[in-house]
Amino acid sequence: MTSQNLLRADVVVIGFGKGGKIAAGTLGRLGRRVVLIERSDQMYGGTCPNVGCVPTKALVHRSGRRRSNDPPQEWFERAVGEVQAITSSFRAGNFEALDGAETITVITGEASFADPHTVVVETGAGPVEVRGETILINTGSEPVIPDLPGLRDSPLTMTNVDLIHTTHLPDRLVVIGGGYLGIEFASIYRRFGSQVTVLEASPRILGREDDDIAAVAEQILTDEGVRIVPGARVLEIRDDDTVVYEKDGREHTLTADAILSATGRQPATAALKLDNAGVRTTASGAVEVDEYLRTAQPHIFALGDVNGGPQFTYISLDDSRIVLDQLIGEGRRTTTDRVAVPQTLFMSPPLATVGLTEKAARAARYRIKVGYQPVADIVAMPRAYIVEETRGAMKFVIDLDTDQILGAALLSVDAQELVNVVALVMRQGVTASALQSSIFTHPSSTEAFNDVIGAVVRSDV
Ligand SMILES: Cc1cc2nc3c(=O)[nH]c(=O)nc-3n(C[C@H](O)[C@H](O)[C@H](O)COP(=O)(O)OP(=O)(O)OC[C@H]3O[C@@H](n4cnc5c(N)ncnc54)[C@H](O)[C@@H]3O)c2cc1C
Ligand SMILES: NC(=O)c1ccc[n+]([C@@H]2O[C@H](COP(=O)([O-])OP(=O)(O)OC[C@H]3O[C@@H](n4cnc5c(N)ncnc54)[C@H](O)[C@@H]3O)[C@@H](O)[C@H]2O)c1
């Protein structure tokens, strides 16, 4: 290597994901020499702003604004154009924020390890070698396309990345997998005007949730026209466009204009040549880390989806707090500190959950009471009527002995905001009674808590 294609850095970050960019920015501002490597110039900022959270939620918003007489294809094309304008401005902002800093260099190309301190980057202008004292792996995850006959070869098979970029609204969309990604896309495309069928292998979608909440969510999707087929075993894709599946012992076929593979995402480690660095992986292919996110090599850390933790942007962000605490802090923060981590499935209205479900609380032998109300019946929350979104239900699972909230499921307008309040309350040990009798602004969605927590439908007393 000549001096031109050999770089030395205090910190090398592989992958421009959430955790990596926060760590890179923080360390760069402190004067560390940072090299951040991203394999695609279309991915500065990572999955979330480019092909994940941001574009999907922007499409949720725009699909909801379409009126029934708006021409679907035109409306869709305009929405995709607007969303691409947002993502490209975020991408440019992400690049500039790091590459514009004096101490940080962004290199575009695929990285792999040559040895524990050396990374080789295949750039458009040839290989570049980067040697670092500390290395952060933040390469995210990639969609798993199941090995079903015809699926990988069909020109109609798409991932979230393909669907985010396509400007043609498919008449018939078949979604394989009814998890977070599958349900969000099903809801979006149905609202844009596609006929959507979700084929889910499990006996039910939203299998982690309690039956009452899952049933309300499924009803909302079904009422919007999404066809959900649980217990479906996809057998093959025949002649590129015919999805053959089995349910209850009988074979069925569906013709599709697009097939979305939404059966989960696996850690992106294949290109990294981790063996050269002495970094181990788990059975599921994730980079093996301890609770401080250190790999088998103490100077190499892994953040975000690639370490096999929960696949959410805010977890990758929290991973960066742990790694920064190791590098420039007190070294105390760990993944085991996390309590009451909420999550939101952005169907319309959103389903936000935190903590234990009723069934999990019972399995853990808590004595509980359950507050539950359909949103339309929550007198304290006129906001649902004001914004014309009265669908859904709210549920609280409360420990009878301590009055602590064990969990909540909020299927409601504004649920993605409400759940953060509940999570904070749970983390701080505020009682359910205190939350119920709190002063909230009016008219707001938070006011619902004044009613729902006291609307006890079951109690172990
Ligand atoms: C459609 C969709 C919707 C989602 N919606 C939400 C949501 O609403 N809320 C939420 O919290 N989470 C959501 N997620 C999950 C969230 O996007 C991820 O958990 C998060 O982006 C993971 O961030 P990360 O830091 O692990 O890495 P990523 O953001 O995935 O970044 C990794 C980067 O590394 C690069 N890379 C990979 N290999 C190499 C290599 N060898 N060399 C160089 N670069 C490499 C990749 O190109 C990528 O840019 C969604 C995901 C998807 C797919
Ligand atoms: N709003 C959000 O926060 C958000 C949105 C989208 C994705 N994500 C993240 O991305 C991750 C990946 O999402 P995902 O939905 O792809 O994965 P997932 O693991 O959440 O769901 C995959 C679903 O596919 C089903 N499945 C698997 N193989 C199948 C097959 N052959 N036929 C039919 N069904 C099959 C599984 O039973 C499961 O229900 C999520 O776990 C989540 O962490 C988050």
Give me the CATH number covering residue 438. 3.30.390.30
For 91-146, the pLDDT digits (tens) are 999 999 999 999 999 999 999 999 999 999 999 999 999 999 999 999 999 999 99
Write down which residue in 262, 283, 310 finishes a domain: 262
Residue 75 sits in the same domain as residue 51: yes
Residue 312 sits in the same domain as residue 356: no
Residue 16 sits in the same domain as residue 132: yes
For 38-65, the pLDDT digits (tens) are 999 999 999 999 999 999 999 999 999 8
Residue 442 annotated among the catalytic residues of the structure: yes
Q: Give the span between the Cα atoms of 402 and 432, in whole angstroms.
A: 9
321 lies in a domain?
yes
Residue 230 sits in the same domain as residue 84: no
Where in 295-362 does DSSP place strands (E)? 300-302, 343-345, 351-355
Residue 264 dihedral angles phi and psi, to the nearest 5°: 115, 165
Q: Which CATH number characterizes residue 306's domain?
A: 3.50.50.60
Residue 204 sits in the same domain as residue 304: no
78 lies in a domain?
yes
Question: Mean per-residue pLDDT for 378-403?
Answer: 98
Residue 12 sits in the same domain as residue 135: yes
The answer on pLDDT for 68 being more than 60 is yes
Binding-site residues for FAD: 57, 139-141
The answer on pLDDT for 445 being more than 60 is yes
Q: Residue 259 class from Cβ within 10 Å (0-12 exposed, 13-18 middle, 19+ buried)?
A: buried
443 lies in a domain?
yes
Q: Give the span between the Cα atoms of 244 and 236, in whole angstroms.
A: 5
Residue 347 sits in the same domain as residue 453: yes
The pTM of this model reads: 0.97
Give distance in angstroms: CA of 185 to centre of ligand 2.
11
333 lies in a domain?
no
Ligand 2 pocket, residue 345 CB under 6 Å? yes
Q: Residue 101 class from Cβ within 10 Å (0-12 exposed, 13-18 middle, 19+ buried)?
A: middle
Do residues 220 and 213 touch, judged by C-beta distance below 8 A?
no
Residue 181 sits in the same domain as residue 125: no
Residue 258 sits in the same domain as residue 277: no
pLDDT value of residue 139: 98
Q: Which ligand has its closest atom nearest to the C-alpha of 176?
A: 2
* Number of domains into which the chain is organized: 3
Q: Give the span between the Cα atoms of 378 and 384, in whole angstroms.
A: 9
Residue 89 sits in the same domain as residue 50: yes
pLDDT value of residue 5: 87
The answer on pLDDT for 4 being more than 70 is no
Residue 407 dihedral angles phi and psi, to the nearest 5°: -175, 165
Residue 252 sits in the same domain as residue 271: no
Measure Cα distances from 194 to 161, 242, 357 in Å: 18, 17, 33
Question: Look-up: residue for tokens 């294809």?
Answer: 73
Give distance in angstroms: CA of 58 to centre of ligand 2.
20
- Provide the 8-state DSSP code for 286: P
Write down which residue in 274, 305, 328 finishes a domain: 328
Ligand 1 pocket, residue 53 CB under 6 Å? yes
Ligand 1 pocket, residue 18 CB under 6 Å? yes
420's CB contacts (< 8 A; 6+ apart) are 342
Q: Give the span between the Cα atoms of 96 and 110, in whole angstroms.
A: 20
Kindly report the average pLDDT of the chain as a whole number: 96
- Provide the 8-state DSSP code for 88: H
Ligand 1 pocket, residue 110 CB under 6 Å? yes
pLDDT value of residue 66: 87
Residue 247 sits in the same domain as residue 320: no
Q: Give the span between the Cα atoms of 221 and 227, in whole angstroms.
A: 8
Q: Identify the domain containing residue 317 by its residue range.
A: 6-142+266-328
336 lies in a domain?
no
40 lies in a domain?
yes
H/E stretch holding 416: helix 415-428
- Provide the 8-state DSSP code for 335: G
Write down which residue in 235, 262, 289 finishes a domain: 262
